[in-house]
């Protein structure tokens, strides 16, 4: 049945999950399937509808009756979803070692590397405030003014269920953005697992990394609980050829706790907590190291399915997170460095973010309307001491962020419509209103010295609109066109940062409270062909940005943020996979990004070169093996007039990965990354920090048997 129209859906496909066995419905929507006694999962799919998965129990000599409601399909937001299997049989979880490895596999995403720790994602050459990076929809702001603490560091790979990536501004439901969003959906407590326990130890040779992971899940019909712990300790890593990068080790621990309550009548309550602590993180290419970071992330969410007629779901979320970050240069010889010579600069930063998110989903006929209210309050503070090593020079103190208080309120309309059974439309509209101020008197005075205005308070409004139209060709193909005009309000650091040293250009930055929002005009065309045995996708996009915010030279050594007239980013991505023999699948992907600063008539900085990968994977019940290669071409398009960016050479890396189920309770994971021990650095490596040399790793995973 069509869920909204209450009319039969003719000729739907009925397939047993994980197999090609099944049947099809007749013209009145009926089907009949003979199965031996047992429990089955059936996947019911029809053109123009979301597939539905139904559990059915067949007993001897009876007929199981199944009524299935199908919801009309809407254009899916995320360009890419990497699902880290709920079913252990999928063997996805634990296949890769780190969340960064999962994120990097998305064509069009590149990682900024500042250390052997917490790489920061960029989408199509855009980063920081231009993209939205959220965990389960929660906003989290880094406390480090040097961006040592990207949000992606807080979700360990065993807690990542899927990655929702939207590489353009079609999805405005999670954040105002001009360059896409990345939502890390975490594993929650699982009602289908009465008891599950997993314990894994691992080792990596490149850095002497030792790690431990533990997971337990308990559930009865009313409550489900999940707890994980992840501990890591790493020494200095080796680059290709054996050079040890001194001062690059770290220690980190991460805890996650989840509780779900089944309240009945389609209602569920979820609570989750993430605690993350890292210490002694070496940043050999930056001026200082992070000594301690502490993060706590809390979320409470209520789901209500079909609360009233015409209302599909109602969701409420409240969240709070606190991030504290300490860094210093006490382990460095400050008497020989070119900047800030002869003084130590211990720095502290903190953010506190509290938010409320309400979403109601209404469905009638071929229409679906989601209304979202997205509110958060941020406070951010950062300060720094300057302690001279020379006798007779007194210490100095300054505020890098003079206690920012920021309120952001947004209303989002997300509307989908089925125009015909082949043609779909999706439109997003988002309005953000932000009120921000500096609360610290000393912090205000520091900035007043730069700007005429004594009033640091700013109120800003942004208006974003996006629309996509998708036409389905045959049973497997689709063409999609996205157009968007989106705005993003300056970040609190761009507005109020003070004396922030940027190693990529060697300037100290001063925030600009008078910045206007950036405006982006985008178009993207994509083609998709997807069958179980092979799939292919190509995207071509163009993003024109007005009032682009960038650093401009103010005086010797100092830059300030300003709206330059215009910049654009354009590019193409391809991705495909195919079965080459039984159990053997080949994957290929490539992305090219081109960015240009029109004001200065030079390339935008930190644009990734042509990069991609080619791999082949063999899988059977007990064994998985993959050979992967990742390549990047040289990048010669650099912002040489305004930054210290330099050219980088191309490289090819080769990785081998294997996973083997030795017994029902034991999995063994083995692999070698950068097999040829190639010395290289990514273009997005800060100060040419080399990539990791040859790395053999192993893991032993002991788990409960189902």
Under the rule (CB under 5 A), what is the footprint of Cu ion? 144, 146, 148, 290, 327
For Cu ion, give the closer residue by CB, 148 or 175: 148
CB of 2 to Cu ion, least distance (A): 54
For Cu ion, give the closer residue by CB, 82 or 503: 503
Distant-in-sequence, close-in-space partners of 420: CB < 8 Å, separation ≥ 6:
none
CB of 148 to Cu ion, least distance (A): 4
Which burial class, exposed, middle or buried, applies to 572 when counting CB atoms under 10 A from its CB (0-12, 13-18, 19+)?
middle
CB of 186 to Cu ion, least distance (A): 25
CA distance to 74, 140, 495, 513, per residue, from 438 (Å): 43, 19, 10, 10
CA distance to 128, 187, 252, 260, per residue, from 156 (Å): 20, 10, 11, 20
CA distance to 346, 383, 643, per residue, from 339 (Å): 15, 18, 16
For Cu ion, give the closer residue by CB, 239 or 347: 347
For Cu ion, give the closer residue by CB, 347 or 372: 347
Helix, strand, coil shares, percent, the chain, to 5: 5, 60, 35
* Alpha-carbon gap, residue 169 to 177, rounded angstroms: 6
Q: Which helix (H) or strand (E) holds 431?
A: strand 423-438
For Cu ion, give the closer residue by CB, 326 or 625: 326
CB of 114 to Cu ion, least distance (A): 9
Locate 77 and state its tokens: 């937001």
Report the 3 state secondary structure along 220-257: CCCEEEEEEEEEEEECCEEEHHHCEECCCCEEEEEEEE
For Cu ion, give the closer residue by CB, 14 or 287: 287
CB of 237 to Cu ion, least distance (A): 19
CB of 327 to Cu ion, least distance (A): 4
Residue ranges of the alpha helices (H) in 523-598? Answer: none
Q: Which helix (H) or strand (E) holds 444?
A: helix 441-448
CB of 233 to Cu ion, least distance (A): 20
CB of 217 to Cu ion, least distance (A): 35
* Alpha-carbon gap, residue 175 to 492, rounded angstroms: 15
Q: Which helix (H) or strand (E) holds 445?
A: helix 441-448
172 phi and psi, to 5 degrees? -110, 10
Locate 289 and state its tokens: 């190291």
For Cu ion, give the closer residue by CB, 108 or 497: 497
The b-or-e profile of 632-661 (16+ CB within 10 A means b, else e) is: bbebebbbeebbebeebeebebbbebbbeb
CB of 383 to Cu ion, least distance (A): 12
Distant-in-sequence, close-in-space partners of 398: CB < 8 Å, separation ≥ 6:
383, 384, 386, 446, 498, 499
CB of 146 to Cu ion, least distance (A): 5
Contact 284, 246 (CB under 8 A): yes
* Alpha-carbon gap, residue 592 to 635, rounded angstroms: 11
CB of 291 to Cu ion, least distance (A): 9
* Alpha-carbon gap, residue 411 to 376, rounded angstroms: 12
Contact 700, 670 (CB under 8 A): no
For Cu ion, give the closer residue by CB, 120 or 667: 120
Which burial class, exposed, middle or buried, applies to 163 when counting CB atoms under 10 A from its CB (0-12, 13-18, 19+)?
buried
For Cu ion, give the closer residue by CB, 292 or 316: 292
For Cu ion, give the closer residue by CB, 114 or 312: 114
CB of 289 to Cu ion, least distance (A): 8
* Residue least distant from Cu ion (Cβ): 144
Bridge partners, residue 109, by sequence: 123
The alpha carbon of residue 333 and the mean position of all alpha carbons in its chain are separated, in whole angstroms, by 36
For Cu ion, give the closer residue by CB, 4 or 384: 384
Closest CA to 347 of 390, 396, 391, 406: 396
Helix/strand/coil for 171: coil
CB of 130 to Cu ion, least distance (A): 21
For Cu ion, give the closer residue by CB, 102 or 286: 286
For Cu ion, give the closer residue by CB, 157 or 347: 347
């Amino acid at each position: 049945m069509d869920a909204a129209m209450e009319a039969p859906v003719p000729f739907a496909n009925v397939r047993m999950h994980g197999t090609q066995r099944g049947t099809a419905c007749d013209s009145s929507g009926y089907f009949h399937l003979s199965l031996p006694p047992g429990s089955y999962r059936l996947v019911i799919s029809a053109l123009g509808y979301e597939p539905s998965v139904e559990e059915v129990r067949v007993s001897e000599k009876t007929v199981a009756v199944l009524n299935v409601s199908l919801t009309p399909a809407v254009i899916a937001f995320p360009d890419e979803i990497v699902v880290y299997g709920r079913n252990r049989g999928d063997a996805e979880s634990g296949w890769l070692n780190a969340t960064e490895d999962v994120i990097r596999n998305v064509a069009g995403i590149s990682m900024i590397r500042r250390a052997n720790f917490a790489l920061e994602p960029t989408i199509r050459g855009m980063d920081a405030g231009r993209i939205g990076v959220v965990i389960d929809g929660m906003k989290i702001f880094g406390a480090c003014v040097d961006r040592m603490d990207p949000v992606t560091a807080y979700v360990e790979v065993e807690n990542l269920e899927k990655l929702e990536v939207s590489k353009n501004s079609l999805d405005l439901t999670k954040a105002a953005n001009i360059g896409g969003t990345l939502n890390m959906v975490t594993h929650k407590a699982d009602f289908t697992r009465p008891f599950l326990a997993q314990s894994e130890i691992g080792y990596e040779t490149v850095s002497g990394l030792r790690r431990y992971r533990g997971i337990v899940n308990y559930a009865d019909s009313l409550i489900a609980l999940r707890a994980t712990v992840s501990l890591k300790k790493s020494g200095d890593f080796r680059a290709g050829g054996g050079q040890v990068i001194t001062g690059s080790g770290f220690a980190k621990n991460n805890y996650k706790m989840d509780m779900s309550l089944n309240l009945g009548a389609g209602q569920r309550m979820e609570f989750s907590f993430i605690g993350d602590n890292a210490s002694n993180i070496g940043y050999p290419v930056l001026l200082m190291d992070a000594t301690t970071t502490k993060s706590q992330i809390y979320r409470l969410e209520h789901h209500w399915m079909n609360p009233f007629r015409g209302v599909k779901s109602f969701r409420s979320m409240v969240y709070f997170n606190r991030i504290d970050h300490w860094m210093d240069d006490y382990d460095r010889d400050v008497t020989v460095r070119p900047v800030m010579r002869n003084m130590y600069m211990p720095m502290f930063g903190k953010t506190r973010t509290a938010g409320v998110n309400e979403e109601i989903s209404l469905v009638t006929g071929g229409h679906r309307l989601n209304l979202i209210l997205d509110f958060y309050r941020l406070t951010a503070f950062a300060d720094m001491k300057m302690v001279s090593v020379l006798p007779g020079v007194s210490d100095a103190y300054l505020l890098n962020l003079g206690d920012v208080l920021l309120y952001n309120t947004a209303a989002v309309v997300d509307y989908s419509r089925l125009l015909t059974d082949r043609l779909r439309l999706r439109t997003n509209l988002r309005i953000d209103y932000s009120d921000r101020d500096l609360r610290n008197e000393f912090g205000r005075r520091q900035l007043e010295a730069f700007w005429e205005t004594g009033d640091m308070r700013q109120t800003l409004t942004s208006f974003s609109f996006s629309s996509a139209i998708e036409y389905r060709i045959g049973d497997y193909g689709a063409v999609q066109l996205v157009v968007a005009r989106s705005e993003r309000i300056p970040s609190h650091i761009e507005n109020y940062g003070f004396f922030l040293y940027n190693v990529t250009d060697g300037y100290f930055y001063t925030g600009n409270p008078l910045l206007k929002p950036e405006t982006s005009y985008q178009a993207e065309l994509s083609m998709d062909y997807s069958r179980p045995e092979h799939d292919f996708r190509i995207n071509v996009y163009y993003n024109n940005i007005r009032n682009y915010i960038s650093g401009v030279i103010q005086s010797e050594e100092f830059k300030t943020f300003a709206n330059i007239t215009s910049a654009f980013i354009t590019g193409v991505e391809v991705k495909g996979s195919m079965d080459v023999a039984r159990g053997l699948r080949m994957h290929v992907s490539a992305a090219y990004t081109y960015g240009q600063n029109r004001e200065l008539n030079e390339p935008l900085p930190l644009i990734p070169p042509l990069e991609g990968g080619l791999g082949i994977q063999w899988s059977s019940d007990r064994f998985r093996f993959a050979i992967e290669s990742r390549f990047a071409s040289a990048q010669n398009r650099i912002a040489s007039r305004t930054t210290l960016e330099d050219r980088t050479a191309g490289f090819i890396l080769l990785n081998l990965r294997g996973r083997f189920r030795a017994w029902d309770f034991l999995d063994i994971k083995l692999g070698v990354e950068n097999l040829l021990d190639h010395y290289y650095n990514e273009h997005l490596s800060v100060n040419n920090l080399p990539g990791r040399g040859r790395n053999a790793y192993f893991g032993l995973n002991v788990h409960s048997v189902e």
